[in-house]
Amino acid sequence: MILLQSHSRFLLDNLLNRLQNIEKAVEADYHWAEFDDVRYHIQVTMKNPHILLLSVSLPTPPPETVFLGGLPSGAIEAIKAAYGAVVQILDPPRDGFNLTLKLNLSKLPPDEEYKHALLVKIASVREVVLGAPLRGILKKLVSRTVASNTDGLVALVHRPNESFFLIPQADKVTIIFPMRFKDSIDIVLATSFLQEFVEARRTAGLNTAPPCLWSPTPPLELKEAPAEALSANAGFVTFGKKLDRTVCSLSTFHAYVSYHVKCSEGFMHTRMRRRVESLIEVAFPFSFFSSS
């Protein structure tokens, strides 16, 4: 199965192109949107070709999540830790955006490999910002600084007006995704996919992976969650154990499932078309060939 990359390919291509043509002093003004309604805006002026303004609009948070100043908890600290002196956070951000970063391309490191790695990290700003609360909780788990009496339910936004839930404990963090799809066919395919996803862990080579469960009804861990946040039509997926290296995979899990559902749907449509064409060819050989 294909795992989604954490960085925006279009953003990375623009950063690399800007760096290669920085002496040409060409203006840039691009708007685009990616999955889960994350929107970007890049702006560069001829007056300051070394300065790039990157604005990001995040999915609309549901009521059960906590945003501080338009950003998830820990996002500012995560940005500073990831980008250092290369990036400056503008306050307030551009109108219509949750975050605006000022990138000084002249401060990029001279080492080409390190420079490229930093640009990939900048292109992963979505994961850095939305994954900040999850990363903070997992770091506490790894360092064993989670309080032993912790019994809270943490809601994190990952799609417009939709959240997934974390239940931090002293020795593990449980993550639960309510899975929602609009199309009836997508609901059927996603439900089947998620059930197989859980079964796959029982195969050889995957039995050491973190526990994964699927249920058609909300798990008991979500008893304190608001009812409107639990309206899932494709069940609930639960991950457990120690997940300190899975921030990107978890923050893009719904998009990952949606991608494979659409691929499966497209594959079945292709097979059906080919089957229909072969039946027509057998049933009406003369008319089929005469029409072609």
Is 292 inside any structural domain? Answer: no
Q: Read out DSSP for 206-219?
A: -TTSPPEEEESS--
- Do 158 and 92 share a structural domain? no
- The helix/strand/coil state of 39 is strand
Whether residues 90 and 119 fall in one domain: yes
Torsion of CA 163, 168, 172, 176, to 10 degrees: -20
Q: What is the DSSP letter of 179?
A: -
pLDDT of 287 reads 55
Residues 6+ apart with CB under 8 A from 106: 50
Q: Which of these three, 76, 104, 135, is where a domain ends?
A: 135
What SS3 class is residue 239?
strand
Residue 170 is assigned to a structural domain of this protein: yes
Asked whether residue 87 is assigned to any structural domain, the reply reads: yes
Who's near 214: CB < 8 A, 6+ residues apart? 194, 195, 197, 198, 235, 236, 237, 238
* Spacing of C-alpha 46 from chain mean position: 33
Residue ranges in the chain whose pLDDT is less than 50: 149, 243-244, 289, 291-292
Residue 288 resides in a domain: no
Q: Into how many domains does the chain fold?
A: 2
pLDDT tens, position by position, 222-238: 988 888 888 888 888 88
Residue after which a domain boundary falls, among 84, 100, 135: 135
Of 137, 153, 164, give the one whose Cα is nearest residue 238: 164
DSSP letter (8 states) at residue 231: -
Q: What is the 3-state secondary structure (H, E, C) of 184-234?
A: HHHHHHHHHHHHHHHHHCCCCCCCCCCCEEEECCCCHHHCCCCHHHHCCCC
Note whether residue 282 is domain-resident. Answer: no
User: Is 243 in the same domain as 153?
Assistant: yes
Does the residue 140 lie in any domain?
A: no
3-state DSSP call for residue 176?
strand
> Same structural domain for residues 129 and 208?
no
Per-residue pLDDT, 33 = 93
* pLDDT value at residue 285: 63
Q: Distance between CA atoms of 29 and 43, rounded to whole angstroms? A: 5
128 and 161, same domain (yes or no): no
pLDDT the model gives residue 205: 65
Instruction: Note whether 86 and 43 are within 8 A (CB).
Output: no
Q: Are residues 247 and 131 in contact, defined by beta-carbon separation less than 8 angstroms?
A: yes
d(CA 36, CA 60): 10
Classify residue 106: in a domain, yes or no: yes
Alpha carbon separation from 24 to 52, 86, 105 (Å, rounded):
14, 21, 14
For tokens 């499966």, the residue is 264
Same domain (yes/no): 150, 270: yes
Tell me if 284 is assigned to some domain.
Answer: no
Shared domain check, 245 and 203: yes
Q: Do residues 256 and 179 both lie within one domain?
A: yes
What is the residue range of 213's domain? 146-276
- Provide the β-strand partners of residue 89: 101
Domain shared by 114 and 157, yes or no? no
Q: Are residues 150 and 265 in the same domain?
A: yes
DSSP string, 95-132: TT-SEEEEEEGGGS-S-HHHHHHHHHHHHTHHHHHHTH
Whether residue 114 sits in one domain with residue 22: yes
Provide the token pair at 192: 């089947």
- CATH value at residue 40: 3.30.1460.20
Q: Is the domain of 272 the same as that of 156?
A: yes
